[in-house]
A = this chain, B = another copy of it.
Amino acid sequence: MKNFADRLTGKIKDMNNPTVLGLDPKLDYIPSSILNHHRSEITDVSKASAMAILDFNMALIDATYDIIPAVKTQFAYYEMYGINGMITLKRTIDYARSKGMIVIADAKRNDIGSTAQAYASAIIGETDLLDGHSESMIDADAITLNAYLGIDGIDPFIRIAKDRGKGMFILVRTSNPSAVDFQDLRLDDGRFLYEAVADKISEWGAPLIGDSGLSSIGAVVGATWPEQAESLRKRMPHALILVPGYGTQGGDSDSAARSFTDSGDGAIVNASRSLMCAYKKRTDLKEDQFSTATRDEALRMKDDLNGALRRKFG
């Protein structure tokens, strides 16, 4: 199986677009035409809610799969709707993959070794069943992880990444304001905690560097922290960087560009709300033209990012 970093960077180059479509669906993001359609299925309102989300997600994928290389599903927004939400998550992922998109499971899982193995099986691997055969449950291409438990909790994902061409993005510098609470703690050797995590990612990722020069063990670095992003890019020269925080959270394309390598690759920028809710800013379109608004915003974001990369790297 081809190295994940090579697969992702190849697809970004083909489309000339380092964007991830973040599917973090809330009901108030969804156009009323879709909601009203499902309101009639009032016998099972949790199922109706989850089906409305699936319809919305599929329309957004249809609108962008030929111009955006990857999709990121934030598990929390599906777990919220219970079993029906998990069915929508699975069907969203299957649909994105059927359209050729690379799927990043934003699950931020973390646990001790034996349990990390179970999460790895669940999300990027396979599960052994009682008749002796194995089955993939989610089969995402990559997953986000939290490294507070150290290498024990990462190793099972690394083994599957090697075997199955999968990848992972480990939290280094998150996009939220209270990232500072622990990530900015200064160590006695002068590093910040987030720098110590970055150094481990470089070490762990070395054996998974592909032909692209990038490793399938990547990092999460928020677009809301441009200064830190600039230094982290140098600190982890081979890490693929997933950049949240562009758009609604306040990060701009110049900040996001800090996470790219000098050759203008090595990072992928997520946008969720600004793509999903693009229609809410369009007075010239009817609400049921929401997918046109998302496609227009995706093209604008692509130009915005490529413009920032040209300004930075020429």
> Inside 8 A of A76's CB, which chain B residues have their CB?
109, 111, 115-116, 118-119, 122
> Inside 8 A of A197's CB, which chain B residues have their CB?
182
**From B35, B151, B153, B186, contact of A187 by CB (8 A):** B186
Structural contact, B45 and A133, CB atoms closer than 8 A: yes
Residues A127 and B80 in contact in the complex (CB < 8 Å), given A24-B115, A110-B146: yes
Residues A148 and B171 in contact in the complex (CB < 8 Å), given A109-B76, A137-B81, A188-B187: yes
Contact with B along A155-193 (1 / 0, CB 8 A): 000000000000000010011111111110111101001
Asked if A135 is at the interface (CB within 8 A of a chain B CB), the reply is yes
**How far is A196 from B294 in the complex, measured between Cα atoms in Å?**
43
Structural contact, A87 and B77, CB atoms closer than 8 A: no
Asked if A113 is at the interface (CB within 8 A of a chain B CB), the reply is yes
Cβ of A244 to closest chain B Cβ, rounded Å: 8
Which residue of B is nearest A130, CB measured?
B49
Asked if A123 is at the interface (CB within 8 A of a chain B CB), the reply is yes
Asked if A304 is at the interface (CB within 8 A of a chain B CB), the reply is no
Structural contact, B149 and A176, CB atoms closer than 8 A: yes
**From B81, B112, B128, B176, contact of A174 by CB (8 A):** B112
> Inside 8 A of A177's CB, which chain B residues have their CB?
150, 152
> Inside 8 A of A280's CB, which chain B residues have their CB?
none
Cβ of A143 to closest chain B Cβ, rounded Å: 12
Structural contact, A110 and B112, CB atoms closer than 8 A: no
Asked if A90 is at the interface (CB within 8 A of a chain B CB), the reply is yes
Asked if A121 is at the interface (CB within 8 A of a chain B CB), the reply is yes
Sample of 26 A–B contacts (CB below 8 Å)? A24-B115, A35-B130, A45-B135, A48-B129, A49-B129, A76-B115, A80-B119, A81-B137, A82-B137, A83-B86, A108-B111, A108-B146, A110-B110, A112-B175, A147-B182, A148-B182, A149-B176, A149-B179, A150-B181, A150-B182, A151-B181, A152-B178, A182-B193, A185-B187, A186-B187, A187-B188
